[in-house]
Each structure stands twice: as C-alpha cells, then as structure tokens.
Structure 1
Amino acid sequence: MDSKSFLSAGIVFMTLIIVVSMIKCTDEKGEEEQLQGNVYYSFNWNNVLSETSAPQHLRYCFYPIESGSVIQMDDDADGMSFTLPPARYKVLIFNCDADNIAFRNTNKFETAEAYIPETKSKNIEHSGDIPLYGIVNEELIVKAGENSPIEFIPVPLTRKVSIHIKVDGMEHITECKGSISGMATTINLSKQEVLPEATTEIPFQTTTSEEGVDANILMLGKPTEEGETPPVISSHEVKLDFTLTDGSTASTAIDLGNSIEETEGSTIDVSIEATVAKGIAFTVNVKQWKVAPGDKLTIE
C-alpha cells in the first residue's frame, strides 16, 4: 500500500471513530434526558395586596425528601420550566425582590427564613412597594419525562398597615415622622409564621395634605382569616414627631395594644384624630383612634 492509500485509509478510519463517538454521546445524552423530569410552573398573581406592585423575581428551593442537598434557582415571576432528577421534594417558592427583606438558612426546608436586616430596620423607612409572598409544597413528586403543569397562587406573607391621621389645625404642621413598635423582623417560610421573640421598632415615612398625615407600612406576617386566632399576639405603639410652622417640634404616642394582630385581612386601617393646640408652645393631642380591616385583597 502506497503512502497515499495509507493516508486515505487512516482518514476513513478516524472518520468512523468520530461518527461512532457522536452516536454514542447522543445516545447517552438521550438516556440522561429520559432520566430527568420536566416540570412546568405558572403563577396566578390576581391576588395582590392593594396599591402595591406584583413581584418580578422568584426564588425556587427544592429539598429532596429522601436525601440530597437543596436545589436553588432564581427566575422571573411569570412561570418556569426546568428539569429535576425524579424524586420527591419539599418546595419553597418566594419572591426575592420584596422590599427591605433578606433571606437566610435556606439550605434546609424547616429553617428557611425571611427577615428584616437590623441595619435596615433602624435606618430606613418601611413604606416599601413590593410585599413578600410565599408558596409551600410539602410533597412535589417529579417523574421521569414530562410532568403535569402546576399553577400556584402565592400567599401574602406581609400585611399592609395604612395610617390615616386627621389633624384639626394641619396648617400649623410642616412635617411628620413616625415609627411603630412590636413589628416582627423574622418569618419562617415553611411554617409561614413570624417568630414571636423577634420584634423591633421601625420608622416609616409619611405624606402630608391639607387634612392630615398618611402612611403605609408593610409588616411581616401572614394575614388572619375570619374566625382564625392569630398564632402570635404582639402589642404596637405608634410614635409621631411633628415639626410645626414656628420651627418647634411636638411628639405624641398612641398605644394600639393588640388591635393590629387581632384585625382580620391583609390590609389594616388605623384612623387617628388629633388637634393642634397653641399655647406657650404648640402641642398635638390625640382625640381618638380606631383600627379596622381595610380592603383586603385586590382582585385584578
């Protein structure tokens, strides 16, 4: 065999090896894909806290029930399709773009928490626009191949507190700053319950008008339904610091007791009536207050 024939035979042989290898890899890839489960999620965001924005980004945490480490991924809030090894999983899904919220201990289903970082609870005003929502699935069975699509309706893990202060003598007030005590800082994501021992006082921003002062606050905690006993009872005090037109300041406090925790629904209205009295110095006196359910959930 001359050198040219030998070279041609070598090329043919190498080509056969490459083709066989490609076929083998394709078969192995096909077998691997057949061993995976294709899962499809969609979300129903019709139930959103009134006057807030729907989340845009979600975090998915899959916990193998038999053995294995958590599988975690982030994606948008419209829906998701992905592959998982066939198994039984516990699942936590929550929006990772909730205002002023961080997450920890998500390596385990039972210990995963959402919390307000200490620096944020003290230094920023809690009037965020995106609440926290969550989903818990105690057993998701993923089979090899295609799995049935799943639709979830996320549960609010935040309540909206709207404070309306009607002030007689508002023309004497230029600014108002506020804070509220007894606010939960941590919620367990698998139990969807706040930790009773973790509370703090947080500031909130206000807007003024000719009639008075308004504020909206997002507080951690799953809304209570009609007839349901709140799992955690906390008392709250609202502190208001007013700046008046003469440059002086006046402060007042309203002890709300357990009224917020005992109010049903996702939104809570706190109505306060106050007067500005002018003597040697301006004073702001609270005449009365009332806590009642708000509009609950907005159905879009």
Structure 2
Amino acid sequence: MITADWGNLPKCNDMRFIFYPDNGERPINYTIKSGIYTFNLPQGKYKVLFFNNDTKNILFQNIDRYEFATASVMPVSKAGITVNQPDMLYGTAIDEIIIEEGKSAENKVKIYPYTKNIVANINIPEEERPQVNTITAQLKGISSSVLLSARRSVLENIPAETLMNTQVQLDGNLTMTCTTFGPANDKSSSTSEVTSVIEINTTYKNNTRKTITADVTTVLENIREEENLNQAVIGLKDMGIYVAVSGWKPGTASGSINK
C-alpha cells in the first residue's frame, strides 16, 4: 500500500504507477483512481514512478527505464525550439520498496510538482497605453523535459522557449504567466552558461516595436519544490516597458516565492 501526502498541492484522482522489478523484468503498470493505493505484486525489490495520468500535452519517453524516464512537451515550431507549456504534473519516485510473501508493505511518500509556475507583473504607464497595439512575452532558456526519477529538468543542447500567457488589465497592469519544467542550465555544471529570460515585445500603433528582457534564471532555480512552493511571482515594478533595455539593472526588480 502506498499513501501519498499531497501537502498544499491539488489532489489528482487519476494516477499512473510504474513498478520496475530489480531483476530487470518488464515494468508493471497500474492506473488507479483513489487516494489510497493498494497493489498485488510478486515478491521482490522494485523502484517506483508515479504521477497524475490526466495530462494532455506531455509526452512520456524512455518510460521502460526508471533512471531515464522523462516527461517532455512537444515543439510547435519546425526548428524544435519553441514548445508548448506542460500541463501541471505531480508525482514522485521511490528508489526501493520490498515486497515479501505474506507481508503487507506500507509506504508513505510526499508528492512533488514536476513543473514550475512563473508569474511576472509590470505596469504600463497611463500616458502610454493608448499607443500600444499588442504585447507578447516569451520565456526563453528553458528545458522541454524533466527527468522523473530525479525531479530535475534535463540539460539540453538547444534551450527551448515558450509563449507566455499575457493579460492586460484596465489599470495598465500586465500579467505574464507560464508553466515550465525549469531552466535549461545545470547548477552542478560549472560550464553551463544558459540563462532563462522573459522577453517582452511591444508593438505600437505606429508599427514601431520595442523589446525588453529580464533574467529570471535565479528565480526559477530557487523555486523550492521540496516545500511544494512551485510558483514564483516577480514584480518588474521599476522597469519601464517602453524603455528598450537589454536586461535587469540592480534594484529594478523584486522577486518573491509564493505558494
């Protein structure tokens, strides 16, 4: 029996379990709609992956191998750089459970988010709002895959990017949201120089365009999955959207981690 602690995360009733026998035999799959999960397995040692089974735009790859199983999002461009945003994906990995004949095994595990949410806010000055035609934002320098057993984004040769959801309020506040597997860099690698940035593109009614970028690598890295805090809220409060700059300057933005 496996009992899951969801913490502050929303519970999913449709879960997929994959048991990997220690003897190398074919993995055993279960799909269960319940809060307490019971299984009838042959005796032996197993590794386990489990995650919600209600995703729509996530592709699971190498799922027959515990150490290499990944969740990925499909590209939306021929070059394969621009990808969709992943669904919310929750789950965990168990490195070892032992099933003994005639004994009931109980395992209590904590559920973690495989995805990270980022919310960025910026205000459009009132005098500038009538000149704006469209505003789009992209999150660049991200990974399109996550390694399920290690709960970390996969280091990729070509970093991905995705179009953020943007919404402009009547008071001029622009909110940009995005779900991602995380940054494309690897904190354990001293050679990795990939940065994750939000790129905001503004098109005016006179057909001119301006672009600003904000480095959010540290913000993404500091989202603390172990505490179920999988969302970062960033206030770009002092960076004028109508000033073309190449990145954040000291003191021009504030970042905070929220549930």
Show structure 1 runs of 5+ residues with no match: 1-39, 223-228, 277-282
How many equivalent residue pairs?
A: 238
Residue 252 of structure 1 aligns to which amino acid in structure 2? T
Alpha-carbon distance between aligned partners in 2 of 1:61 and 1:183, rounded to the nearest angstrom: 27
Larger radius of gyration: 1
Name the structure 1 match of 2:112.
155
Name the structure 2 match of 1:197.
156
Identity %: 19
Alpha-carbon distance between aligned partners in 1 of 2:64 and 2:160, rounded to the nearest angstrom: 26
Task: Specify whether residues 108 and 118 from structure 1 end up closer, same or farther in structure 2 by C-alpha distance, changes over 3 A only.
Answer: same
Residue 218 of structure 2 aligns to which amino acid in structure 1? S
Name the structure 1 match of 2:33.
76
Contact 1:176 1:243 in 2 (8 A): yes
Contact 1:241 1:249 in 2 (8 A): no
Contact 1:193 1:231 in 2 (8 A): no
Q: What SS class does the counterpart of residue 206 from structure 1 fall into?
A: strand
Task: Specify whether residues 125 and 241 from structure 1 end up closer, same or farther in structure 2 by C-alpha distance, changes over 3 A only.
Answer: farther
1:243 deviates by: 4.3
Task: Specify whether residues 262 and 108 from structure 1 end up closer, same or farther in structure 2 by C-alpha distance, changes over 3 A only.
Answer: closer
Q: What SS class does the counterpart of residue 68 from structure 2 fall into?
A: coil
Q: What SS class does the counterpart of residue 123 from structure 2 fall into?
A: strand
Show structure 2 runs of 5+ residues with no match: 225-229
Equivalent positions of 1:187-266 (< 5 A) are 187-197=146-156, 199-209=159-169, 210-221=171-182, 230-231=187-188, 234-244=194-204, 246=205, 248=207, 250-256=209-215, 258-265=217-224, 266=230
1:171 to 126, 129, 145: 129
1:230 deviates by: 3.9
Residue 97 of structure 1 aligns to which amino acid in structure 2? D
Q: Indicate whether 1:137 and 2:97 are aligned.
A: no
Q: What SS class does the counterpart of residue 197 from structure 1 fall into?
A: coil
1:258 deviates by: 3.5
Q: Indicate whether 1:184 and 2:143 are aligned.
A: yes
Say which structure is richer in helix: 1
Residue 182 of structure 1 aligns to which amino acid in structure 2? G
Q: What RMSD over aligned residues (CA atoms) do the two structures have, in Å?
A: 3.0
TM-score normalized by structure 1? 0.68
Alpha-carbon distance between aligned partners in 1 of 2:83 and 2:208, rounded to the nearest angstrom: 21
Residue 237 of structure 1 aligns to which amino acid in structure 2? V
Task: Specify whether residues 191 and 272 from structure 1 end up closer, same or farther in structure 2 by C-alpha distance, changes over 3 A only.
Answer: same
Task: Specify whether residues 291 and 194 from structure 1 end up closer, same or farther in structure 2 by C-alpha distance, changes over 3 A only.
Answer: farther
Q: Indicate whether 1:46 and 2:3 are aligned.
A: no
Task: Specify whether residues 182 and 123 from structure 1 end up closer, same or farther in structure 2 by C-alpha distance, changes over 3 A only.
Answer: closer
TM-score normalized by structure 2? 0.78
1:267 to 231, 244, 250: 231
Task: Specify whether residues 207 and 56 from structure 1 end up closer, same or farther in structure 2 by C-alpha distance, changes over 3 A only.
Answer: farther
Q: What SS class does the counterpart of residue 135 from structure 2 fall into?
A: strand
Contact 1:125 1:205 in 2 (8 A): no
1:106 deviates by: 0.7
